[in-house]
Chain A
Amino acid sequence: MFRVLLILWVAIGVIPFPASADHSPKIQIVGSTTVLPIASRAAERFEKFEKIEKFKSSHRLRILVNAGGSGVGIHSVARGRSDIGMASREISPSERKRFEGSHLKVHTVGVDAVACVISSEVYDAGIRDLTRQEIRDIYLGKIRNWSEVGGPDRKIVVVDKERHRGTRHVFMNFIFGNPTAKTPGTILVTGSNNEEQTKIAQSDSAIGMLSYAWVNDEVRAIGIRDKKNIVKPTRETIRKGDYPIVRNLSFITAGEPNGEVKAFLEYLKSPEGQQVVEESGYIPFT
């Protein structure tokens, strides 16, 4: 019996060795769930591209993509726990200070809009736009019922995001002028774009903030009203800069990238890479 265990032991210890001697290179990418679809799709295509064009050998480049949010992305690349951090917002001043020694470099690959979204039932009932002040009051808890803004008589389910999320920073910056604003009116806190989308779709009276690419039939984007002007988030308004809540989608490295990481970033900025950005529902940067 001991012999069986011993063999198992040796096997587990030895099996990684042959491969690690000739270790396949890998790129670790962590961060924003908004940027994640771009990274994942690009990773898939780049891996194939690498294999066919460049190496034609057992060297298979592996690109690991993980979620966590913009804050986690920035933190992990600054601390060397990942090669690239994905962020859907700017690096905050406090982060710049904290990670001074890491010399963070930002590589922007696309542009995205943050939409103020509501449950489709509320949208169908007539709410198509809100003013910045109204949104602010909803998140402050001053406006509690959809009827106060011309909607059905239903309590508003105010959905917020985890504080470090890029989408929240950008949204709050526009609504409150402060990326880390406090929102006493919040009923629920979600994490990734997926989770928020789910929650708003499941509810029939929710309001939230979501990357424009995640808008669908159940989760509708509303326009921002400013006196008589209503700006809805569409590819045109985003591209032209009319829609006010936009942000850069970036890949962040600690210092200048080189080797595989550099090649991957160049791929993202190339026409093929930009096509991936567009396919994921965002606006290409170039």
Chain B
Amino acid sequence: MKNESHGVMLVFAGLNLIFLCCAGGLFFFLIFESYPILKLHGFDFWLGQDWWVGETYGALPMLYGSTLVTALACLLVLPLALAVAIFISEFLTSTSRRFVKAVLELLAGVPGIVYGLLGVSFLSLWIKDIFGLLDGNTLATAGCLLAIMILPTVLTLSEDAMRAVPAEYREIALGLGLSKWQMATGVVLPQALPGIMGAVLLGIGRAMGETIAVMLVVGSLDRIPDPWFNIFSSAQTIPSKLGREAAESIGEGTHWSALMALGLMLFIMVLLINFLGNRCLKGRSIS
């Protein structure tokens, strides 16, 4: 009897170990594969601006593109998410609230390729026409598309953060004669701020990692725009670069190592952001 139990425990422990190895293995693989190029180029890899396969590899345009596109998405999402979260959490009835949450969950599940199609067929052309650009594949397009993609997630988590503020706060505020609006914005919102921060960070994490939708609309030009803040020029992000070039040299060579180094950078950035985000969410968790 005891042996059987022990054996069973080992099986479960083994399965858990497999799970842990997946997480750790990813990380180690990325490091292992990036090693050659980092040894070769060192810091120049991250600061270099030119990426010519076979000659030199510089990651700066990709890093810049990823950062800008994500920042843009964040900027667009934040006010909207806040506004709608306040409304859902404080002004909506329970049934309507459930309905909207359900809609958000469905939206969050829309595959990236569908967004990619929407981006190519509509967003790209709209941005081109509205801003009179030469071509609609720009950082701005990618930023907008990502904003729409992460909106459901950021919104739903922000709303959760607001709901998590204890009822007492609301009761006291109303008891003091504050209007519902003042209560919502002056009392509940500040309390929920850490949670909302967490939501935004997690949304950023997701935006940084999105490949397919961005690859189709960002322009894939390995260059920092000129001037640097010109969001209406084509550029490149890390996932988009990986998506477009990985097939060329999978498995070996300097080119592959360079791509893996990009992947490593992306991995670390996303993990850090996610870690911070989860920390914020936990920080003020009141069940």
**A–B contact, 8 Å CB criterion (strictly below):** yes
CB within 8 Å for A191 and B248 given contacts A98-B253, A157-B135, A180-B54 = no
Chain A residues contacting B53 (CB-CB under 8 Å) are 163-164, 180
User: Which residue of chain A has its CB nearest to the CB of B249?
Assistant: A75
Please state if A205 and B52 are interface contacts (CB–CB under 8 Å): no
Report A204 CB to chain B, min CB distance, Å: 10
Shortest beta-carbon contacts, A-B, top 8? A189-B220, A157-B134, A72-B247, A71-B248, A68-B247, A189-B221, A164-B248, A72-B248
Shortest beta-carbon distance, B254 to chain A, in Å? 10
* Chain B interface (Cβ < 8 Å from any Cβ of A): 52-54, 125, 134-135, 137, 219-223, 233-234, 244-245, 247-253
Chain A hits for B223, CB < 8 A: 186
Known: A188-B234, A203-B134. A94 touches B244 (CB 8 A): no
Flag whether A59 is at the interface (Cβ < 8 A).
no
Give 26 CB contacts A-B under 8 Å: A72-B248, A75-B248, A75-B249, A79-B251, A94-B54, A155-B134, A157-B134, A162-B244, A163-B52, A164-B53, A164-B245, A180-B53, A180-B54, A187-B134, A187-B233, A187-B234, A188-B135, A188-B137, A188-B234, A189-B219, A190-B220, A191-B244, A199-B135, A203-B134, A203-B135, A205-B134
Shortest Cβ gap from B131 to chain A (Å)? 13
Most buried by A among B125, B137, B247, B252: B247
Interface majority SS (helix, strand, loop, mixed), chain B: loop
> A188 contacts B247, CB within 8 Å?
no
The answer to whether B54 and A69 have CB atoms under 8 Å apart is: no
User: Which chain B residues lie closer than 8 Å to A187 at the CB level?
Assistant: 134-135, 219, 221, 233-234
Docked complex Cα distance between A189 and B219 (Å): 6
A203 partner residues in chain B, CB cutoff 8 A: 134-135
Output the least CB separation between B205 and chain A (Å). 27
- Nearest to A71 among chain B residues (CB) is B248
Whole-angstrom distance between the Cβ of A248 and the nearest chain B Cβ: 21
Q: Inside 8 A of B134's CB, which chain A residues have their CB?
A: 155, 157, 187, 203, 205
Q: Least Cβ distance of A87 to chain B in Å? A: 13
CB distance from A70 to the nearest CB of B (A): 10
Complex interface bits, A144-170 against B, C-beta within 8 A gives 1, otherwise 0: 000000000001010010111000000
Interface string of A31-69 (1 = CB under 8 A from B): 000000000000000000000000000000000000011
